[in-house]
Structure 1
């Protein structure tokens, strides 16, 4: 089947802050998080096909499933089912996997969200259809925010998204140690009481007010994640040695950590310095770019 190919960036999702505010009876944890996205990530392409097919390329292709258990395939099947896409009108999906998997930066969720958006184009579905967020949430708690694709405040289990003022330009470096940090193990290791929700977000902010706000905002899972993956503490210490780093935190449930910088150029210089540091393990994945609002 011939036709147009649609391609989209599936950016890394970064939890700039993360408070765990409670737990539902069904076991899902409630959170309050400021979420932003980077200008780099995986890339997904779709083109017409008689069936839903899926393939993976890229440096991390070997560590994610290439079968029907992948969230990209699940997203395609869920969307086709919800909108009664007829048999014979499928899609060929190709994922270039550039982000480490299960790293707390929403790689699989961003891939699934991009699949939903691209397939809306391919199958002529209104991308603003009110049923689409429900399809996203049925696939995973992080997918609605990735479907939105803009910086926002995320609460509930991830389904409640509130707008925030546009973020100022900020450079970012992501570092992943190449070590496992399973989310269930992190939540199991978490101790202590739940946090209150964050204070009110300003109506407008510049770089300094954003950084001041985030300086008072924790990631409540950091201590637990460090017990599961001690390399996280090493990464955060490495960020603290970079004089241009304005703020460093872990994202999500780990193990990826981020450092914020005044500009994309200073972030790239910091990433280069880390990569050249003989004390930095070869297994570390280091990527620089900037936040997008």
Structure 2
């Protein structure tokens, strides 16, 4: 059976289903699987109504069901959290329509979307441990005491949004952040292509621009990117501007992470464009 697109599933979620998803989300830190009786205590529906709406969410693959200690129990899925994010961004007048997937990584899915003026935007859904819930349950048995996958996804989104907000306010070359959903970051759409696929006419200036962004990150936002590479830089080919993307792993600035990031980007420009910059001189520029 084909999976209904995420945007269509979001449009099929009414007020009761929306409230059920919020109940499951809010209880996800306390329960690996939320017993049905907990849900019954928090929603004003009779048993047949509750079963109807739970069945609908199950068919849309927005929740997961399993018998746990003999009780019907449920958990929100990543698609369920995505739907909550879509609804929130819509209420914030940031996202009008969600379109197609334009990128996918181990811990995120990136969609094209459109705002209320029909301008293209990007919506990045964070999904830590993006896999089946049966697999997650097996993994979680070895991770007792750690945060839930749901919580980690939410915190990753918050981390990326906060990093982008600080960087943008300080005039770094990053996509402009537009809003934060539950596990989603809406941001400006950059019409370009990855640095590693671009043949630069002014590689030295582009390198300077990238290093300028990393300096702002380190000095003003007190952050290290932690994953800087030519794969995480998008070239706006019309304006010839490099935008540093993918900031969810950004952490408190440290010498080790800074040096690792700088070595990666200097190696790329040395190997492709024969531009040689001393690592110590570059680090001094960024710190000062």
TM range (shorter): under 0.3
- TM (norm. structure 1) is 0.25
| Greater strand fraction, Structure 1 or Structure 2 | 1
Larger of the two Rg values belongs to structure: 2
- TM (norm. structure 2) is 0.25
Structure having greater relative contact order (Cα 8 Å, sep ≥ 6):
1
